[in-house]
Amino acid sequence: MKRLSHLLIAALAAGAFMAAAAQPPKVLRYAFLTAETGFDPARISDLYSRIVTPHIFESPYTYDHLARPFKLKLRTAAGMPEVSADHRIWTVRIQPGIYFADDPAFKGRRRELVAADYVYSFKRLFDPAVKSPWYSTMKEEGLVGLEELRQQALKGNRPFDYDREIEGVRALDRYTVQFKLSGPRPRFIYVLAASDIYGAVAREAVEFYGENIMEHPVGTGPFVLKQWRRSSFIALERNPGYREHRYDAEPNADDVDGQALAAKFKGRRLPMVDRVEISIIEESQPRWLAFLDRQHDFLDRVPLEFSGIAVPNGKLAPNLAKQGITMVRGVAPDSTMTLFNMDDPVVGGYTPEKVALRRAIGLGYDTDREIRLVRRGQAVLAQGPVPPHTYGYDPEYRSENSEYDLAKARALLDMYGYVDRDGDGWRELPDGAPLTVELMSPTDQVYRQLNEVRKKAFDALGLRLTIRFGQWPELLKAARAGKYMTWTVGLSASSPDGQLALEASYGPATGGQNLSRFRLEAFDRLYEKMKALPDGPERQVLFAEANKLVAAYLPYKYHVHRVLTDLSQPWLTGYRRPLFWTEFWQYVDVDTELRDKILQ
């Protein structure tokens, strides 16, 4: 009888397995607006690569999918960190029994995540050979001993010593990692919650794949990379060895929609989809049409030129609502800006005439016109570097950065000797040499429209503007190397703290997050003091002072904070646009039966 019951259980289990296998896979399909650069967390900084990596790699902590503005939760950590009274020592215990995805790098063995993996991953950011854009950020966190390791490698022209134990990041035992910082860092937990950048990487995988590690990501997360055609197509599938992880989002009590989602999915095993397919479609019209044609389940950012059709007056169009399409919309924690290369002999520099040129370019640019004509009202005017939803953002702050005053701009140029000496209609430099400003630009439709607005603004000032076109990865590489004059980009917040946006003007971050190469001792002192202070009135004052310095020297001309509208097909449920994090695939579900019914 006992044997019979065992056989019955086995038969039921086999039947359940076969039934599950018979179900069509749930595939999430959508498009990126811009090409990715790769999938090694230590080497990437662009948004779209950083959307992929946190679904593969995992940090100790993460953010709740539904809570707003944010709520920290455990990811690989067994509990919240133990923090010393002076915020210098952070101790984190990792959950046992978490495993990396199976990979040839592990030579057939199942590889458990341990504290040493986080030690190795943080050390990689300081390895000169990795050339991590996040090195400058982590240097400012002050992990004791890591900079010394880096300098030894640089001075001795030898490999970085990963095996040397240091105080800054070390494994106390198999599952406990401790971070020791040179100064108080009250917000270090935000670093420990950034899986897109600081997720655990296995040393065996990095050494096995070498320079090809960008295309062979191996992590502990819910998805694994299955296919990648650079700048064209990315496919990921459910990690078959992913641990049991259940939906446990905790929306705000007054969030009716969030509460409904939490009730619907509570206890569901994650991820809920089996595969994610991402096409790279930079042109707006084919991306929009692919969604309308039901080829994509989700539209990441309604293209600006179709916003009047999709969301007239900020409301979902009735014809789309009748189709069961849903909308998520709001001001993003981001800023768009024009960078001036401060090392460039034309637009860079700190002398009065160089500052005057940048300020005149800023004053001569009508951002309201950009919002009306190019962004179709889908943006709000930016006053400075700190984006909405982050600590340090002041909605009442106003600065000259946002002013449009063509007369004042022309007067500035005249006053400092930027005049048309030869009568050809274009101003020359104060020494009489020709003056041409070069702007780097991608080739997509929105940038082409933005370039038209910028060209008119420069023409009105009597300044000659040329455009240098390129693909995003190429432009980013040039900017990091300082081989450009001006460039217009967007920066999305990756932390609830607005100081990361100010790092873009911090001198020691030059070549990393500081792409303008701005160096000002007064700003650097403010930045360093702000880093150590707890949140409060004193720190807010420093934010205001930093904003004033950036507005005065104008290494960046800040334009707008974008209003983003995302659309979902009726069979896709659970989507919320993340604020400071980038992962969401495991929290959405695709109803294949409803999809098939609608598409019949």
pLDDT confidence of residue 10? 42
Choice among 7-11, 292-296, 553-557 with the minimum mean pLDDT: 7-11
329 domain-assigned? no
* Residue 541 located in a structural domain: yes
539: domain CATH number?
Answer: 3.10.105.10
Parallel, antiparallel, or unpaired: how do β-strands 223-229 and 233-238 relate?
Answer: antiparallel
- Residue closest to 53 by CA, chosen among 223, 209, 193, 210: 223
Q: What is the mean pLDDT of residues 353-379?
A: 96
Residues in the chain: 600
Residue 4 has pLDDT above 80, yes or no: no
Higher pLDDT, 2 or 214: 214
Q: Which domain holds residue 502?
A: 334-562
Q: What percent of the chain has pLDDT over 90?
A: 89
pLDDT at 199: 97
Ramachandran region, residue 517 (left: φ > 0; alpha: ψ -120 to 50; beta: rest)? left
326-331 and 560-568 as β-strands: parallel, antiparallel, unpaired? Answer: antiparallel
pLDDT in the model for residue 23: 80
| Three-state secondary-structure class, residue 11 | helix
Q: Over the chain, what is the mean pLDDT?
A: 94
pLDDT at residue 6 is higher than 70:
no
User: 577 falls in which pLDDT band (50, 70, 90)?
Assistant: very high
Q: Per residue in 110-156, pLDDT tens? A: 999 999 999 999 999 999 999 999 998 899 899 999 999 999 999 98
Please say if the pLDDT value at position 12 is more than 80: no
- Helix (H) / strand (E) containing 121: helix 115-124
pLDDT digits (tens, 9 = 90+) for 304-328: 999 999 999 999 999 999 999 999 9
What mean pLDDT is predicted for residues 565-592? Answer: 96
Please tell me the predicted confidence (pLDDT) of residue 14.
Answer: 45
Give residue 160's Cα distance to chain centre: 28
pLDDT confidence bin for 22, thresholds 50/70/90: low
For residues 13 and 330, the model is more confident at: 330
Q: Which two tokens stand for residue 228?
A: 């990648």
The answer to whether position 25 is within a domain reads no
Radius of gyration of the CA atoms of the chain, in A: 26
Residue 283: phi and psi, rounded to 5, are -80, 135
Mean pLDDT over residues 488-506, rounded?
A: 92
Span 296-306, average pLDDT: 95
304 lies in a domain?
no
In a domain, 45, yes or no: no
Percentage helix, strand, coil, to 5, in the chain?
40, 20, 45
Q: What stretches of 363-492 adopt beta strand conformation (E)?
A: 379-381, 436-441, 464-469, 486-492
Q: Which of 132-141, 207-216, 530-539 has the lowest mean pLDDT?
A: 132-141
13 or 566, higher pLDDT: 566
Q: Identify the pLDDT of residue 15.
A: 47
- In the chain, how many domains are there? 1
Q: Phi then psi for 587, rounded to 5 degrees?
A: -100, 0
- Is 386 a member of any domain? yes
Could you tell me if residue 430 is inside a domain?
A: yes
Least confident of 12-16, 307-311, 505-509: 12-16
pLDDT at 322: 97
- What span, in angstroms and rounded, lies between the C-alpha atoms of 133 and 11? 54
Is the residue at 410 inside a domain?
Answer: yes
Given this model, what pLDDT does residue 2 score? Answer: 41
